[in-house]
Amino acid sequence: MERIWLKHYPAGVPADIDVTQYSSLVELLEESFKKFADRKAFICMDKAITYRELDELSNQGAHLFRSLGLKAGDHIALLMDNRLAFMEICWAAQRSGLYYTAISRYLTEEEIAYIIKDCGAKVFITTPQCADKVKGLIKGEPGEPLFYMMDEPAAGAAACAGMAANASKKAANKTASHLVKKWGRRNECGLMGWAYMMGFSPEF
């Protein structure tokens, strides 16, 4: 087959890629962190994050996952609106050896519940914008994943309060914000979610 698209490649872009060049996706990413540190890695609406920031923030996220007792091979699930923190979490999971499942916010509560159970998520991360979709999933029962709410304190706490009200009395009484002090706020588009993740699991 004639690869007619090659004539549109900018100068210096190879026609073929050596897939054996890197032993893993993490190795490729870490090289990019160093090589393109000051370049924009992701842009979401009017905000952006550089490779250097992504490196630092995803590394902090990886430490967070370890502090939660997650180990390589474990699974997390995400239900989020469009935001840069999504990529921070994905790369934190990637460099931690975790599996991650992104769930569409347009699914029903029943569909979301099925995916969480099917993937075996030990941690579930959502945002205030998606809170209504998972209110009924928090029952404070054994085997539930650890549920976390991302956002700044006011929005995160408000959404947590509404969701914890649907859980058992034990779970509601254990509503916590113990991760708030883990790391400070980096910038408007950065680790806002990690720093202000709110936990409301009976296991705390």
pLDDT mean values, one per 10 residues, the chain (204 residues): 91 89 86 92 91 90 88 95 90 93 94 94 88 80 80 53 49 35 32 37 30
Lookup result for tokens 């890629």:
17
CA distance linking residue 1 with residue 144, whole number of Å: 51
* Residue 159, pLDDT score: 54
- 196: tokens are 């202000």
CA distance linking residue 98 with residue 94, whole number of Å: 6
Predicted structure pTM score: 0.71
* Residue 145, pLDDT score: 86
